[in-house]
Structure 1
């Protein structure tokens, strides 16, 4: 027996809003920094609909058929996923390079609906902008599928509880436990574990399920007093509008890695989404307003839009890497609009020729209808043959992509090259120190300009380490991946305490996050007035890069003994010398990095009293006015 279904007012429109938030967040992140919350809106909708369908099936048939439920989910989710994987993987193979890295494990995660846990096990990051992970968006599909796998069993057990309020309370407790887990396990910096985890990010699904139980006739609605029910009915449109405004406000305000997001922010979005659903489904006027023509169109195709938008963006950026670091807003807009157009075309085709037929006739029924129509039309037989050949070619392309996928990105290769150089220098320094301990008279004194320089930086400096060592023999480099400016004061303080801090300090941080003036003040306080400071500007397509460089320029303008190494402007005309992420330099790019540092040091030596060629560090005149320093770099 089939279970009757009906279209619920407002849900397609809400889907359209949710997918729009996610797409804008990925295509134009600066315009909507919290648009990722659209996924949580989807979770609430899914929990509400799935639980409602299961409850209706139990009312109609007297039981819940697990097999039919999973079959319906497979028919809804799997067919659109197959062409996405084949086309995107083949396109990645044709493009080549970094976009192929990790493709094997990504495909395993996609076909097993375990993408989130495969990513966590592989230490992949949802928030990394340097790793072109082709199928990263499938993490949320995995969370939903894992919920669909276990929820029917849990719901059957819950339905054994006769008290409707207790039943709803238990589901709410599950939602709260998941949200608490996210808050407790959250770690600043990269919250991928709590964002991807089914255990810590299922509260939206449980919230939707609780709403379905409350709305169902076997739930708690009958327990609501008539006067309260009338009051809620009168307030419903206003509450719906207010809750929707709250969701949209969160899309502008919630930071993607901030503590507020994971310690209550996403839970609040889920609760607000539940209010929107309740107001739309129970109140026809608000639901009809949500189901405007445009939003309903997007909502009906939201699954395909969500599937295609991220691979399309990654492929475009891999094909034209300049779009990652273009200084013009116009270029970003053009690329974003192109990605939107391709996404809508792919999702529309999927909806028209795949999703609707399979939904109406099933896979076998759709194949039978296609064969029947093709038998009556040579033109359609030709198209069917072309589709079969195309499918074989795409399968071959996907296989080739998996076989030829490199083990690491070009950026990772450059960072590893720098790490080996730094490790080798540290081993040599340690050996020299041991020789000096055994025979002080035979120990050679450090020579070269690098012997006066301590450098602290991030992965960009690390990738440039071999060239810094070649340009400044004896330089001491302390650089690490994902390091921000906040780490510098403590690192320099430890070196000063150990007596290892040299007369010239080079700080190359700013790629991985915004900086504060107080952090720069702390750095100068640690190194003291008798040391020179060189600050390296940042080059990366990040929303904070311009602010970082502006802060560095402002700070350097306040002190004679602070100069800028203009890495940003030096590398901008030569992005072909960067790795595939357009951030980390290769050997020639590393030389430009080292030369930008040298130019800054040369400007410092031009200010009397000076280094005298960096081989005679002399005391500065603290009374000398700023106006007498040479012109600063442009």
Structure 2
């Protein structure tokens, strides 16, 4: 995250307080996902703006002092500040994952490679990872944002001299803002036209607007920071800066309460709003004689701000490791979140005091020399040095073992892939019998429902259950996809209806990935029509919207008479049949899912026949 650029950096008022707010938003979002900060991930964008402003300001100051920018000096300071804590987190947590085993160990090798190369975001995208997917809780997923910043640290010092060729400050500000606008537009384009939310969120190109807004602010305030005019220090202007800063922070916190959507309203809407508000807060904090800057840098917030880098690094892998020991389907229990928070604070403080500060003050070689000197010192120093060396050897060995033994996918991902393979095999196999055409006058007595009479539309839960569905109902048509929500159902059903492939029984299981509305269900029933039978499947997942989804499905089924397959009720006492994420069925879970659907289909067929006999 945003860090000082040298062992004895200039302090800009307000930045520590903003760092504290940013890291608090992110940590609460991850450790207490059902709480108020449903959009707390915008804290990352607060960090991005601070980075763009601080790094650009320091580079400009160096150029004014010395007439040049020392690339080697800048990158050396970055390495001193970033690498020690990063190496500690990666090796300790990878070793812990090796001890825990299971899904937390999945793809550790690729994650360590991403951390080591400053390319975590791009490597993660290349492997098809999703920031918002519950099926793959990557141990080091939070390093994607650090990779974006690290790429900025590498590229920006090379580009800055070219930008400085523009003779007017306004032109430099305008160029940075134009680049920020282009980045935000690109994010919106990826989300709206391609539906590529994770690509838009992870991509350095599509998520650079926060950093670029910070760069524009640094250009705009370059002279003010070094030689502020007298009018800026007059009381009315200081009062205005205070009011603007307070309003901006309140706005950032409010944006952090907004739930994410898979639309441009969030990507880039909410992110861009948080970025602009952060720029206002920074300007208010560094305003000459600012009361706001001193106020927000109160001692507790400054303590958090100083350690924000370590807090950010530690909190995510710790909660993943601790949650791995919870019951499947439990998500992040409140107790786990509290323990994770306590451990995060303790580990961040230890890292800051014993690893980050010594390297920042003495450099890598100086820190190693001091450690070597301790080996020949008194008993206490020698014992501490030996313990440090021993721990280093152990975590390096544990990391190597973790990489060597890491599975390529989580149990949930494997279950979903098995479903994809089953459907592919079904499509490749020659049809045993032709599909029957839907009939408007079915028999007046119950008849066994065949797979060729069923269309099933669902998300990754249905996809993971596809092998069992295909076996239970040979010839069934399954249209399932990862991360699909109920809002997609009407469009899918309309396409199938228009193609003449919508069958007599329509099973829809789309409640896992978000809340639903009555109007969506009504539209689905209209598309299915009176000659077909709609069956809705309840959802099971450790998500705060699931209870509301199941209540809506149950109520709609009772009012309208459509069928209901109670997957939630069937699987609740059987968490052992689910994958490690507590959401996706394993082999036995897939059989239970198919049995639940079959029971609902049989019940619906019995009701249809009974109605036909009247």
TM-score normalised to structure 1 length: 0.88
User: Any idea what SS the aligned residue of 1:407 has?
Assistant: coil
8 Å contact kept, 1:448–1:473: no
> How far apart, in 2, do the equivalents of 1:396 and 1:558 lie?
61
Q: What are the superposed Cα offsets for residues 405-433 of structure 1, whole Å, 9 maximum, x if unpaired?
A: 11222122222322333333344453644
Q: What are the superposed Cα offsets for residues 295-351 of structure 1, whole Å, 9 maximum, x if unpaired?
A: 1111110000011111111112223243x436xxxx721111011111111111100
> How far apart, in 1, do the equivalents of 2:99 and 2:241 lie?
53
8 Å contact kept, 2:136–2:413: no
Q: Specify the alignment match of 2:442 in structure 1.
A: none
Q: Which moved more, 1:8-17 or 1:166-175?
A: 166-175
8 Å contact kept, 2:225–2:286: no
Q: Specify the alignment match of 1:624 in structure 2.
A: none
Structure 1 residue corresponding to 2:213, chosen from 197, 207, 211? 207
Number of aligned residues: 597
8 Å contact kept, 1:530–1:620: no
Over aligned residue pairs, what C-alpha RMSD do you find?
Answer: 2.8
Q: Specify the alignment match of 1:12 in structure 2.
A: 16
> How far apart, in 1, do the equivalents of 2:499 and 2:263 lie?
34
Cα shift at 1:558: 0.8
Classify 1:565/1:213 alpha carbon distance in 2 versus 1 (closer, same or farther; 3 Å): same
Tell whether 2:311 aligns with 1:305.
Answer: yes
8 Å contact kept, 2:56–2:218: yes
8 Å contact kept, 2:449–2:602: no
Cα shift at 1:256: 5.3
Q: Specify the alignment match of 1:320 in structure 2.
A: 326
Cα shift at 1:550: 1.4
8 Å contact kept, 1:246–1:272: yes
Q: Which moved more, 1:49-58 or 1:419-428?
A: 419-428
Classify 1:160/1:349 alpha carbon distance in 2 versus 1 (closer, same or farther; 3 Å): same
> How far apart, in 1, do the equivalents of 2:174 and 2:454 lie?
63
Structure 2 residue ranges without an equivalent (≥5):
1-5, 438-446
Equivalences for residues 189-204 of structure 1 within 5 A: 189-204=195-210
> How far apart, in 2, do the equivalents of 1:184 and 1:504 lie?
37
8 Å contact kept, 2:132–2:198: yes
Tell whether 2:74 aligns with 1:74.
Answer: no
Classify 1:217/1:375 alpha carbon distance in 2 versus 1 (closer, same or farther; 3 Å): same
Q: Specify the alignment match of 2:481 in structure 1.
A: 480
> How far apart, in 2, do the equivalents of 1:456 and 1:264 lie?
31
8 Å contact kept, 1:451–1:473: yes
Classify 1:279/1:428 alpha carbon distance in 2 versus 1 (closer, same or farther; 3 Å): same
8 Å contact kept, 1:22–1:37: yes
Tell whether 2:117 aligns with 1:112.
Answer: yes
User: Any idea what SS the aligned residue of 1:464 has?
Assistant: helix
> How far apart, in 2, do the equivalents of 1:81 and 1:469 lie?
47
8 Å contact kept, 1:422–1:477: yes
Classify 1:360/1:470 alpha carbon distance in 2 versus 1 (closer, same or farther; 3 Å): same
Q: Specify the alignment match of 2:555 in structure 1.
A: 554
8 Å contact kept, 2:448–2:602: no
Cα shift at 1:497: 4.4
Q: Specify the alignment match of 1:86 in structure 2.
A: 91
Cα shift at 1:395: 1.2
Cα shift at 1:4: 6.5
Tell whether 2:472 aligns with 1:468.
Answer: no
> How far apart, in 1, do the equivalents of 2:213 and 2:18 lie?
16
Q: Which moved more, 1:228-237 or 1:31-40?
A: 228-237
> How far apart, in 1, do the equivalents of 2:174 and 2:498 lie?
57
Q: Specify the alignment match of 2:440 in structure 1.
A: none
Q: Specify the alignment match of 1:360 in structure 2.
A: 361
Classify 1:603/1:295 alpha carbon distance in 2 versus 1 (closer, same or farther; 3 Å): same
> How far apart, in 2, do the equivalents of 1:353 and 1:479 lie?
51
> How far apart, in 1, do the equivalents of 2:217 and 2:299 lie?
26
Q: What are the superposed Cα offsets for residues 349-396 of structure 1, whole Å, 9 maximum, x if unpaired?
A: 100101111122222222223333442312221222222122112111
Structure 1 residue corresponding to 2:151, chosen from 146, 150, 156? 146
> How far apart, in 1, do the equivalents of 2:232 and 2:12 lie?
25
Q: Specify the alignment match of 2:3 in structure 1.
A: none
> How far apart, in 2, do the equivalents of 1:387 and 1:563 lie?
63
Bigger Rg, structure 1 or 2: 1
